[in-house]
Amino acid sequence: MIPVGFINIIHGFTVKGRLFEPARIDEKRMVGYPFKEIETKWQTHWESHKTFSIGEDLDLSRPKYYVLDMFPYPSGDGLHVGHPEGYTASDIIARYKRMRGFNVLHPIGWDAFGLPAEQYALKTGTHPSITTEKNIQRFREQLKSLGFSYDWDREVNTTDPNYYRWTQWIFKQLFNRGLAYQQEKPVWWCEELGTTLANEEVIDGKSEVGGYPCIRRPLRQWVLKITEYADQLLDGLDELDWPTSTKEMQRNWIGRSEGAEIDFRVADSDADKIRVYTTRPDTLFGATYMVLAPEHELVDQISAAGARAAVDRYRDSAAKKSELERTELQKQKTGVFTGAHAINPANGKSIPIWIADYVLAGYGTGAIMAVPAQDQRDWEFAGTYDLPVIRTVEPPANFDGEAYTGDGKIINSDFLDGMTVEAAKAAMIEWLEANGHGERKVNYKLRDWLFSRQRYWGEPFPVVFTDAGATTVEDSELPVILPELEEFKPSGTPEGPLATAKDWLDITLQSGQVARRETNTMPQWAGSCWYYLRYIDPHNPDALVDPEKERYWMPVDLYIGGAEHAVLHLLYARFWHKVLYDAGIISSPEPFAKLVHQGMILGELEFTCYRNRQGEAVSAEHVRDGTDTRNGEELSPDRTADSEVVKLGDGFVLSEQQDIAVEARAHKMSKSRGNVVNPDEVVARYGADAFRLYEMFMGPLEQVKPWNTNGVDGTHRFLNRVWRLFVDNESGNRSSKIVDAVPSDSQRKTLHQTIAKVTEDIESMRFNTSIAALMEFTNTVNKWSSVPKEIAEQFLLLLAPLAPHLAEELWEKLGHNETLAYETWPETLAQYLKDDTLMIAVQVNGKLRAQIEIAADLSEEAVLSLARSDDNVARYLDGKTLRREIYVPGRIVNFVVAN
């Protein structure tokens, strides 16, 4: 699912003779508590005791919590520091919820079909299943080394026939419900990859993977009718606790719009009527011309003899343009007059019909009525070709724009005059329907989902072709197993590599009928569309999920994963889910109740100074995209050491040459930049607990933030201090500072304030501040001469979700034989939260002049009097007229004075 690959080598590089080593971390030897030993010990313990396996016999009277990570695509490069960010967050929640008495489902698996393994097979002949298995091993080890509390008995793997059997079964449900159909569709074909690609896999006419050129060609494809669910997918968003940006992106992607379709008769012709789609039926009287997409089917029929040559020329050139060129040219709109005219049904006027590629064939009806007065695109086109403009909405008096798209009084529109836009739309639709000229219509940007790929490493379709067409195979025939192949080369034809599997391809059905299997495979999205359901009942041979278990566990309570999946994965999964819901197979209309995106982790902050060919430094304000904005000269970026720059004003400048501003920013981790950080090395040096803690301590989970290996020092030191607090350095036994004594009130206060803060922060996923609270706690406790065992234990329970290995070890040292994973989470006792005395601020005219200590229950009058008598406050009140006294209990006093 996470397609980004990163290398796991950290290499220094030289720039102008200086060596930069962004993350050479084995150089310094870390001394401190024996994290390596402890972490291995507890990882082994959890595994052998199946601590986090929830098994089959659950106490269903307990509340459940399903916390899910987006499962990874096991790339050959292993984990990078971005993966464990979300995984750590979900692990903390999982561990916390267990301690809160929930049955917690916290699984992991592998999204293991996909192009990279197939391309590797092409190069090396290694079967993708071997590569995949090897990569999974590596990922599994890495995840285990970080101490995540997954239920490893529930691991799923999309390439396992026992898994994809049910992916195929779901496809059958789609097929049976008429939601899967075949169509000749112009699709992106990439010669180099020997496969078709989905729109989202082609960027600027090149393949997303490899950057190879792609062309459009028609192919028989499987398509899923996601558009049938457009309204449900849109409406379902309202009830979800998801980031607004993600919901908004899905809404835009679905792109629902309401309007009307209107029929225009072609003048002096018996050609078919031309139907247009518009969201502004109220502007019909302002339609001054009509535009058809170059691909529109009526173009041939209507073009006048004299215009035909020009029309054909324009159509040819439009067909050759890639999508990119079409959109790039949006500044200057082009088109050709067909020589034909259409009759405006509202007023009988004749308007010219043009073709232009700013009208898309695939949206609406592929034809529009152009209203330049109220549409900026039409305005531009009309300007270019000198077409008339009729305003039908009165713009505001001070309006100085071109097309006016706002609300206003309708003018020049016969029976609509004087209405608002909203009323006029309704009135016009009513008129159109009454007179047979058109009808109300809802449109979507969302297109049906191109669901087949001409690849090997994907799920085979459970489909065979006979003379009668496509049929699905019997359930008893599932899974349709991917055949072994000698060669993984694409056939070079639109048929995928499976076409070369002769023994597999042709079968005889039970009826005796001869049939041929579908040679397409499913796209990578298929397996990830429903994996969260399989985790609930991963080994069930009879159903994709047991209905009773499904009812208990669904929906997912918390789903954590990257924002790059905001639309596609999350929309496709919701679509399948709703289909399964409608089919009565599952009980919940939405799969993911709450969604959180972890922010990307960037490389370390870098300073870059740009230099021209003479080697002269160019100040950053003159640099844009690596060139000098003043003369267009190419500049070379020069990585500059921290010691050579100094902060000046808003930015950084060279310390030797302070008129030269340098660029200061953290970049996305990438091989080419050499700023990739490998978690294995961080774990080796600091330990998994310190690594987990740092990932959470960096800042808010959702935020993009730069990595800084030095920062791990901080969390490691913190864990060291905790260790020394509990363990005697000499003997390795429990420290004599931990005593069996009754805590003092003040000690209880420290503890319970920490419990309150950590609990609140974990509940709202503010892990950075919960860690800060634990640090403050240890800073305070370190000053105590002894620590009551009761306090020490409660603290360890608070630490446990965040740094589980160390917490377990110290818990054991305090004399416990069982894991603390299911201990009860500490309870905040309110009586220890309030202080007897508190410090409050005293301001005079809003400026802070003193801080005074008061008894918490002191009356307002007494507080004010105390504040007035403070020396420094008195200084500012002296000789002035006191106008107002403000006391916010427990917080602040403000005296307002005048001369």
Partner RNA sequence: GCCGGGGUGGCGGAAUUGGUAGACGCGCCGGAUUCAAAAUCCGGUUCUGGUAACAGAGUGCGAGUUCGAUUCUCGCUCCCGGCACCA
Residue 429 Cβ vs RNA, minimum distance, rounded to whole Å = 13
Give the long-range contacts of residues 621-627, CB within 8 A, separation 24 or more: 621/661, 623/663
Q: Is 255 in the site for RNA (CB under 7 A)?
A: yes
* Distances, alpha carbon 897 to alpha carbons 463, 846, 862, 877, 878, in Å: 86, 10, 19, 7, 10
- Cα–Cα dist 815/813, whole Å: 5
Interface segment toward RNA; rule CB under 7 A; list 29-37, 110-118, 494-502, 547-555: 29-37
Q: How far is the CB of 374 from RNA (least distance, A)?
A: 9
Q: What is the largest CA-CA distance in the chain?
A: 110
User: Is 344 within 8 Å of 438 (Cβ atoms)?
Assistant: no
Q: Any idea how long the chain is?
A: 899
The residue (of 134 and 256) whose beta carbon lies closer to RNA is 256
Position 706 contacts RNA (CB under 7 A)? yes
Give the binding range for RNA (CB under 7 A) out of 367-375, 583-591, 680-688, 816-824. 367-375
Q: Is 279 in the site for RNA (CB under 7 A)?
A: yes
The amino acid at 709: T
- Angle formed by the axes of helices 115-124 and 128-145, nearest 10°: 130
Q: Please tell me whether residue 4 binds RNA under the rule CB under 7 A.
A: no
Determine, following the binding rule CB under 7 A, whether residue 202 of this chain makes contact with RNA. Answer: no
Asked if 264 and 251 count as a contact pair (C-beta separation under 8 A), the reply is no
What is the spatial distance between Cα 457 and Cα 167, in angstroms, rounded to a whole number? 14
Contact window for RNA (CB under 7 A) among 65-73, 96-104, 537-545, 891-899: 891-899
445 scored as a contact of RNA (CB under 7 A) = yes
Between 78 and 562, name the residue whose CB sits nearer to RNA. Answer: 562
Return the closest-CA partner of residue 816 out of 734, 710, 724. Answer: 734
Can residue 329 be called a binding residue for RNA (CB under 7 A)? yes
Out of 405, 483, 700, 823, point to the residue binding RNA (CB under 7 A).
Answer: 700
Q: How many residues bind RNA (CB under 7 A)?
A: 87
- Quick one: 390 or 896, whose CB is closer to RNA? 896
Q: Is 303 in a helix, a strand, or coil?
A: coil
The alpha carbon of 260 is separated from its chain's Cα centroid by a whole number of angstroms, namely 35
Site for RNA in 549-588 (CB under 7 A): 563-564
Residue from 368, 373, 560, 722 binding RNA (CB under 7 A): 368
Candidates 442, 424, 388; CA nearest to 283 is 424
Site for RNA in 291-320 (CB under 7 A): 293
Which among 530, 644, 621 is positioned nearest to 169, based on CA atoms?
A: 530
Asked if 375 is part of the footprint of RNA (rule: CB under 7 A), the reply reads yes
Query: With binding defined as CB under 7 A, does residue 891 bind RNA?
Result: yes
Q: Please give the structure tokens belonging to residue 652.
A: 């950084």
Residue type, 303: S
Q: Which two tokens stand for residue 619?
A: 């100040």
Candidate ranges 1-9, 127-135, 691-699, 734-742; the one touching RNA (CB under 7 A): 691-699
Q: Which residues partner with 639 through β-bridges?
A: 608
Q: Which of residues 739-768 bind RNA (CB under 7 A)?
A: 766, 768
| Token pair recorded at residue 107 | 């699984």
Residues 774-793 close enough to bind RNA by CB under 7 A? 775-776, 779, 782-783
Choose one: 273-281, 406-414, 487-495, 739-747; the region binding RNA (CB under 7 A): 273-281
Query: Given the rule CB under 7 A, which of 325-333, 386-394, 524-532, 683-691 is the region that contacts RNA?
Result: 325-333
Segment interacting with RNA (CB under 7 A) among 610-618, 737-745, 794-802, 848-856: 848-856
Is 737 one of the binding residues for RNA (CB under 7 A)? Answer: no
The reply on whether position 841 binds RNA by CB under 7 A is yes
Instruction: Closer to RNA by CB, 52 or 314: give it.
Output: 314
Smallest distance, RNA to C-beta of residue 155, A: 31
Return the range that interacts with RNA (CB under 7 A); candidates 93-101, 169-177, 253-261, 787-795: 253-261
Stretch that binds RNA, among 127-135, 274-282, 385-393, 545-553 (CB under 7 A): 274-282
> Among 257, 587, 627, 828, which residue sits at the site for RNA (rule: CB under 7 A)?
257
CB of 773 to RNA, least distance (A): 8
Q: Is 834 in the site for RNA (CB under 7 A)?
A: no
**Integer Cα distance of 490 and 720 in angstroms:** 56
Q: From residue 471 to residue 510, what is the string marking binding to RNA with x (rule CB under 7 A)?
A: ----------------------------------------
Establish if 829 lies at the interface with RNA (CB under 7 A): no
Best CA proximity match to 459, nearest among 547, 371, 522: 522
Strands 156-157 and 109-110: parallel
Instruction: Single out the residue of 192, 708, 823, 854 in contact with RNA (rule: CB under 7 A).
Output: 708
The least distance separating RNA from the CB of residue 223, rounded to whole angstroms, comes to 17
Distance (Å, whole) CA 729 – CA 720: 11
Residue 659 touching RNA (CB under 7 A): no
Can you tell me which of 704, 814, 854, 858 binds RNA, judged by CB under 7 A?
704
HEC assignment per residue over 387-454: CCCCCCECCCCCCCCCCCCCCCCECCCHHHCCCCHHHHHHHHHHHHHHCCCEEEEEECCCCCEECCEC
CB of 52 to RNA, least distance (A): 29
Among the candidate windows 245-253, 346-354, 537-545, 626-634, which touches RNA by CB under 7 A? 245-253
Instruction: Provide the mask over 395-424, with x wherever binding to RNA is found by CB under 7 A and - wherever it is not.
Output: ------------------------------
273 is a site residue for RNA (CB under 7 A): no
- Binding status of residue 139 toward RNA by CB under 7 A: no
Which one of the spans 127-135, 402-410, 413-421, 837-845 is the region binding RNA (CB under 7 A)? 837-845
Separation CA 704–CA 814 (nearest Å): 39
- Residue closer to RNA, measured from CB, 93 or 482: 93
Rule CB under 7 A: say whether 245 interacts with RNA. Answer: yes
Residue burial 877-892, b: 16+ Cβ < 10 Å; e: rest: beeeeeeebebeeeee
Task: List CB contacts of 80: < 8 A, sequence separation 6 or more.
Answer: 4, 6, 8, 669, 676, 677, 678, 679
Sole binder of RNA in the list 14, 16, 28, 48 (CB under 7 A): 28
Are the CB atoms for 224 and 179 separated by under 8 Å?
A: yes
622-651: which residues touch RNA (CB under 7 A)?
647, 650
Query: How would you label 57-79 residue by residue, b for 16+ Cβ within 10 Å and e otherwise?
Result: eeeeeeebbbbbbbbbbbbebbb
Number of H helices, E strands in the chain: 26, 40
Of 449, 445, 451, 448, the C-alpha closest to 463 is: 451
